[in-house]
Amino acid sequence: VQIDGRTAKKGASLLAGQMVIVEYAQVEEAIVPNADMALSILFEDEQIVAIDKPAGTPCQPLGPSERDTIANALVARFEGMAKVGDDWREAGLCHRLDIETSGVLLAAKTRTAWEAMRQAFSGDARAIDKYYVALVAGPIADEGTIDLPLVHRGDHMSPDTGETGRPALTRFHVTRRHEGYALLDVQLITGVLHQVRAHLAAIGAPIVGDRLYGGPIEIDLNRFFLHARSLAFAHPVTGKRMQIESQLPDELTRILSAHF
């Protein structure tokens, strides 16, 4: 760092009109392939691949040294995906799931497919049907629609009906009940961060195991009970309507057996 052509000293104060020059090395960031990480593939063709994401695994790395994410495993298996997307960390991922959320995760193998799917996920047409299974605790109606804008505050999302809130719409219906617990089928209409978790907590029915949003803790469950069970969309190239589904993982099935 130089000020007016001289090396700057630590703590130096600047005056109006001085010129500051900063020289830095350009570091090329690239995702590290991880061939040791297994992938459970639900569907694959030349354009897209759908992964059955396990709970506890991040979708993408936060830094170039991180290796244990779905994105790292994807670029190891499909080399060309390392450059699909606008961000080096994406590896073709078309959307995200929280670390503790399991289920269907979609990625694109080509730039054309990625652009089409990103538009589908973010567009006003809401062209993708996203369904989740959630176990909640607390009073909740048999069915309903939660229309609460959400705003990012610290590490969580909060309802905010002011100008800063992002529109968020969630539909649900109860499939089973037992002693204060309810199993829900949830349709995510929009795609805001933590939307299902924040919305259900906001109406007094937080997801079981979700410590961040006040859900009750299950001794035999080291995650929260939220599973992306189904994703339906038009194929980005052929236009054919597709539906990809993921079965409830064993750790969640065991919790259901204990409560129902």
Catalytic residues: 98
Which tokens hold the place of 53? 């994401």
236: CB partners within 8 A, 6+ apart: 47, 48, 108, 112, 113, 116, 117, 120
Q: Tell me the β-bridge partners of 145.
A: 171
Q: Which of 104, 131, 138, 129 is nearest to 207 (CA)?
A: 138
| Cα distance between residue 78 and residue 80, in whole Å | 6
Own/partner pairs for 68-72, CB < 8 Å, 24+ apart? 68/34, 68/37, 69/34, 70/39, 70/105, 70/107, 71/31, 72/31, 72/32, 72/33, 72/34, 72/37
CB 138 within 8 A of CB 169: no
CB 108 within 8 A of CB 92: yes
Own/partner pairs for 92-97, CB < 8 Å, 24+ apart? 92/49, 93/59, 93/60, 94/48, 94/118, 94/121, 95/121, 95/191, 96/59, 96/60, 97/53, 97/59, 97/228
